[in-house]
Structure 1
């Protein structure tokens, strides 16, 4: 596995930067290994729903997981507020970094991820093939 380390700064859009990084580095099959940092704004799609919610506050990133490929990214995030209350969901654009976001990305060797529309789910779903 090849690894990358990146650091985002205040105001950068977490999802957009991960999409750009994936494309710029031609990552064919990537995953988020770890992420620590914070956001001041988050836009999340709630579980098994079309409901999208916006959150504005200071949140610690307690988890960021997902898959990355040239066709797109699929990311889920969990965030905690000052009282330790946790929110989470499918990360959309408009998740803005607060102080920092330190991210380690893994690129799987000999594997290729693509995303294709699945009529059963209504989403672009992950396809995995060997290189």
Structure 2
């Protein structure tokens, strides 16, 4: 039995990164996936940086160098690295509001044999990934 399926995805100008990826996973009939790869460009960047209380908000052209993470039925956890016009690299947790500039090419691994969810973890104080058989 196959435990995963690959789903290539191309996002278009103006698409919001996180909701578009989540929608593609749910439209496939699955509630569990990992983002294996992602490249493209953004014109609006919203990141939560390590340990920061506020979001980094930048409206400028960025190249998406990498994207990875997990999509669960009740939320996603995505990390991204991007470079700006000067070649400076930024990275962090993808917050709502990241917008595709020209394209985003994403490869998803769908996990039909699994259920992913985010549940409170007393050790970290955050909702963390829980993996269960479907």
**TM-score between the two structures when normalised by the length of structure 1:** 0.91
Indicate the structure with greater strand content: 1
Query: What's the counterpart of residue 35 of structure 1?
Result: 38
Q: 1:125 aligns with which of 120, 124, 128?
A: 128
Query: What's the counterpart of residue 52 of structure 2?
Result: 49
CA RMSD of aligned residues (A): 1.4
CA distance in 2, matches of 1:124, 1:46: 17
Unaligned runs of 5+ in 1: none
CA deviation digits over 1:40-76, x for unaligned, max 9? 0111011122221101111000010100121111001
**TM-score between the two structures when normalised by the length of structure 2:** 0.89
CA distance in 2, matches of 1:23, 1:108: 12
2:78 paired with 1:93: no
Q: How many residues align?
A: 131
CA deviation digits over 1:86-123, x for unaligned, max 9? 00111011100000101110013522211112344332
Of 110-119 and 84-93, more deviation after overlay is shown by: 110-119
Unaligned runs of 5+ in 2: none
